Amino acid sequence: MEALDAAIGAWLLGTAGFEAMAVDGKVLKGAVRAEGAQVHLLSAFLHGQGVTIAQKQIARKTNEIPELRNLLQDVNIAGKVVTADALHAQRETARFLVEDKKADYLFTAVKGNQRKLRDRLTCLPWGDFPPQR
């Protein structure tokens, strides 16, 4: 099944012109493994097209953080932007995206998982440069 997922994802990626992709994890409501644990998927999908191009089931003894690198290892995202939530605001994830994959990233929020970074960001004069459309 993983080989089929990879082949379909590669085909979709090759047919869709895209600039940005999102990575997000979800627990599948009602889906339970044989040992009783819930099923947790990590997916990469294209912003503009709403198409999933890669997905990976998260093993019970791990979490999304290291699996993002495994999910995107074989996906060509050079020159593209990868967005992810606060959970992925990690140095190793940023390094992987920029240095290994030659991509850019935007982590949408920084929460308590990166306290020093959050504290540095709150000190910035945000009113001096509001987001532009």
Tens-level pLDDT at each residue, the chain (133 residues): 677 777 777 777 677 677 899 999 998 888 888 887 888 999 999 988 888 889 998 988 888 999 999 999 988 899 999 999 888 988 899 999 999 999 999 887 667 767 887 788 788 787 776 655 4
Domain boundaries, the chain: 2-126
Contact 16, 49 (CB under 8 A): yes
Is the CATH number of domain 2-126 2.60.40? Answer: no
Q: Edge to edge, what strands does the sheet with 104-107 contain?
A: 52-57, 38-46, 20-32, 81-84, 104-107
- Please report, in angstroms and rounded to a whole number, the separation of the first and last CA atoms in the chain: 41
Nearest-5° Cα angle at 97, 94 to 98:
85
